């Protein structure tokens, strides 16, 4: 049976992080038995079939999201999940299927143009405008209806045009999955979410450690590390940061 024991929040949180939980997830996926145990987990197996052929998220990254959604929200204030960069929606469908069973009050908001990347910055980004343009918005809408995932909302358009208004309606966020590959979009989707994150809420950066996404890493370095003084809770299989109020952290 899939069990994790270090997901309590304070007082083990140091600089906002629960290091033990980060080790348990990251080490367990990289060196331990979590991959096999998650594969055998019936809820994971039911939900992951929706991501097959519709997601470019690596399986261990998705498994880590599963661990956070399943074990990491205890003690957090109510809030929703946002995903910046949904593409064909596979990972959003997965998270919606998991939340429908574990957190029926939570919704998943999936942001994308659903028409591919906007203009990129060739001095930082390897991706180009139009990458991921085969998103298939109408097919994705059909799958959401067929699977009766009424907790999944697609927000179509440039983040820069949609997110601030959408987040006003969404309110609080427990998990922001940032999966948009390029400097401008990663920076924007972090910044726009900051005032919406619950205490202890998670920012998960899917692609900053990828060889093709130096711009995404620069956005993390410049904004989370240098500007906001944040420290990672987890670095494998992707970067995970937690929201915290430094004035309440006695460590
Ligand atoms: C790597 S894909 C997302 C993968 C997806 N999470 C999955 O499950 O396969 C990155 C997406 O970010 C979107 N994107 C990047 N910048 C954007 C922006 N400024 N506004 C809207 N969408 C953007 C692209 O259209 C693309 O679909």
Quote the CATH superfamily of domain 14-246: Vaccinia Virus protein VP39 (3.40.50.150)
In Å, how far from its chain's centre is CA 129? 23
**Does 57 contact ligand 1 (Cβ within 6 A)?**
yes
**Dist. CA 121 → ligand 1 center (Å):** 15
Question: What is the pLDDT confidence band of residue 249, given thresholds at 50, 70 and 90?
Answer: low
Q: How far is CA 127 from CA 112, 212, 213, in A?
A: 15, 8, 8
Compute, in degrees rounded to 10, the torsion defined by CA atoms 96, 97, 98, 102.
90
94 Cα nearest atom in ligand 1: 8
**Does 118 contact ligand 1 (Cβ within 6 A)?**
yes
Query: Of 57, 62, 115, 117, which is best to mutate to test ligand 1, by the most ligand atoms within 8 angstroms of its C-beta?
Result: 117
Query: Which sequence spans correspond to the domains of the chain?
Result: 14-246
Name 18's Cβ contacts closer than 8 Å, sequence gap at least 6.
Answer: 6, 7, 8, 9, 12, 233, 242
**Does 91 contact ligand 1 (Cβ within 6 A)?**
yes
Q: What is the pLDDT of residues 215-237, one digit of tens each?
A: 999 999 999 999 999 999 999 99
**Does 116 contact ligand 1 (Cβ within 6 A)?**
yes
Q: What is the pLDDT of residues 149-206, one digit of tens each?
A: 999 999 999 999 999 999 999 999 999 999 999 999 999 999 999 999 999 999 999 9
**Does 125 contact ligand 1 (Cβ within 6 A)?**
no
**Does 136 contact ligand 1 (Cβ within 6 A)?**
no
Q: How far apart are CA 131 and CA 226, in angstroms?
A: 30
Counting every residue, how long is the chain? 251
**Dist. CA 13 → ligand 1 center (Å):** 32
**Does 178 contact ligand 1 (Cβ within 6 A)?**
no
Cα radius of gyration (the chain): 17
Compute, in degrees rounded to 10, the torsion defined by CA atoms 193, 177, 201, 32.
-160
Q: What is the pLDDT of residues 3-26, one digit of tens each?
A: 776 555 444 678 889 999 999 999
């Amino acid at each position: 049976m899939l069990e994790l024991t270090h997901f309590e929040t304070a007082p083990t949180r140091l600089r906002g992080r629960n290091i033990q939980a980060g080790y348990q997830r990251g080490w367990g996926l990289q060196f331990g038995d979590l991959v096999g145990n998650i594969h055998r987990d019936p809820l994971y197996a039911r939900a992951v079939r929706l991501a097959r052929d519709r997601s470019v998220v690596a399986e261990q990254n998705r498994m880590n999201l599963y661990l956070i959604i399943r074990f990491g929200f205890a003690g957090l204030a109510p809030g929703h999940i946002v995903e910046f960069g949904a593409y064909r929606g596979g990972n959003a469908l997965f998270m919606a299927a998991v939340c429908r069973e574990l957190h029926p009050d939570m919704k998943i908001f999936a942001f994308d143009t659903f028409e591919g990347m906007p203009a990129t910055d060739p001095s930082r980004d390897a991706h180009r405008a139009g990458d991921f343009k085969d998103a298939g918005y109408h097919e994705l809408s059909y799958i959401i209806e067929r699977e009766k995932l009424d907790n999944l909302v697609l927000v179509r358009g440039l983040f820069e045009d949609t997110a601030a208004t959408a987040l006003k309606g969404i309110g609080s966020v427990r998990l922001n999955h940032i999966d948009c590959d390029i400097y401008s979009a990663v920076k924007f989707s972090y910044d726009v979410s900051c005032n919406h994150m619950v205490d202890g809420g998670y920012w998960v950066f899917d692609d900053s450690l990828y060889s093709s996404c130096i711009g995404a890493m620069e956005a993390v370095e410049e904004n989370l590390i240098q500007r906001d003084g944040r420290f990672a809770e987890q670095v494998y299989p992707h970067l995970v940061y937690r929201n915290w109020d430094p004035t309440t952290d006695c460590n």
